[in-house]
Amino acid sequence: MTALIEAREVALSFGETPALRGASFRAEAGEIVAVMGPSGSGKSTLLHCLAGILVPDSGEVKFAGDRIDQMSETRRSALRRDRFGFVFQFGQLVPELTAQENVALPLLLGGVRRTAAMSRAQEWFERLDLSGMEGRRSGELSGGQAQRVALARALVAQPQVLFADEPTGALDSLTGEHVMDLLVGSAKEQGTTVVLVTHEARVAAYADREIIVRDGRVAVPEGLAS
């Protein structure tokens, strides 16, 4: 099988401190892979390299066969906007915008006209049990609601890869499970590949498989055997 997204022997240091020391990773189209490991092991740095947010010092990062690590910042930005979606621990919604405008944002940035963007954003409110929340701003949403809005924003442009970094880290168990049910259900429905960084086994159990990052390396490279 061809990997949709792949890292090979990626190394990256912050100053004198190595964060990744030759980490390798691959995910097929539609696959959900959990990236686990202790705090400070490099799992979020690996996600940032895969997503083109950070450029590694050495090694290769490929998306659909193209070297992300060799792309210009402009091309990587376009890739992040058009092909990738992101959910972080804290929803990181734009506080000045309504929930619906937040969800529509990736479409608006991608050049979709406002009426069409708002209409497509609206569809996600029912899908993620958020009906009636469209006009609220982030300060008027609970943690679980804000995270579901963030999820809708990440998926509205139908990305090929969803990067989720501790998406339930700030939520209680029940709310976290609701968010994960929706995240996995929506990703599977759309055929979206998910790279899910988490230190929680219950969250990782939603994935098709897991890898363990330890000291900047992938310690349990299950799925790399091919």
Partner 1 sequence: MTVPLTLLGLLEREPSHGYELKRDYDAYFGRGRPLPFGQVYATLGRLARDGKVVISDVGKGDGPDRKRYIITEVGATEVDAWLTEPVEPEPHLQTILFSKVVLALMLGRPAEEYLDTQRRAHLQRMRELTEVRRTGGLVDALLADHSLFHLEADLRWIDLTAARLDSLAKEVRK
Task: Rule CB under 8 A: choose which of 112, 161, 207, 213 binds partner 1.
Answer: 207
Q: Does 116 bind partner 1 (CB under 8 A)?
A: no
First and final CA of the chain: distance in angstroms? 8
Of 60 and 200, CB closest to partner 1: 200
Of 3 and 204, CB closest to partner 1: 204
Task: Rule CB under 8 A: choose which of 6, 165, 166, 210 binds partner 1.
Answer: 210
Q: Does 219 bind partner 1 (CB under 8 A)?
A: yes
CB of 213 to partner 1, least distance (A): 12
Q: Does 201 bind partner 1 (CB under 8 A)?
A: yes
User: Residues in the site for partner 1, rule: CB under 8 A?
Assistant: 38, 177, 181, 184-185, 200-202, 204-208, 210, 212, 219-220, 222
